[in-house]
Structure 1
Amino acid sequence: MKILVVCGSGLGSSFMMEMSIKEIIKDLGVNAQVDHTDLGSAKGEGADIYIGTKDITSQLEGIDGEVISLKSMIDKADMKKQLEETFKKLGAL
């Protein structure tokens, strides 16, 4: 399973979210590859799950994969809840 964390420039905020997501998936026992990228590149990369803040994910309409839209990039509880729901939907949990 591949998870792609998306932000406007593909640097700071997506990398910060990537680190949090790696901790969460480790705690959940899910085997997934997690990478980060910018919005423009995300549309050309394939992933099972795309994660970003609402302002970014609203621009990912029509992309093939699940999209997780976060209210806050630092709210780990919301991030974990949405990841759990998505993993269950995809049969990974």
Structure 2
Amino acid sequence: MSRNTESPVDVDEALTHIDSRGAKIRKEQLERTLSQLQADSELTADQRLAVERLSERLVDRLLAVPRASLQDAAQNADEETIETAMSLFE
């Protein structure tokens, strides 16, 4: 565990950081994909909704493990793991 003179890392802040990064990437990729699909043919409202839901599920699944690891780290007061996770999702 690292010894840091700064205040301890807040796990809620780390989780928010990870969720924000995931949401940003999801939005960027969703817009890109919908634009490409729309250029090829007209999307129905149902098709657009299906793509949006898919993007949400993918991000949720991909971030589930880092979120669980952060929650475990918080329970064990493992600031180093929390700091590492934050740096990985910058």
User: Relative contact order: is structure 1 or structure 2 higher (C-alpha 8 Å, sep ≥ 6)?
Assistant: 2
User: What TM-score do you get using the length of structure 2 for normalisation?
Assistant: 0.28
Where is the strand percentage greater, Structure 1 or Structure 2? 1
Structure showing greater Rg? 2
Where is the helix percentage greater, Structure 1 or Structure 2? 2
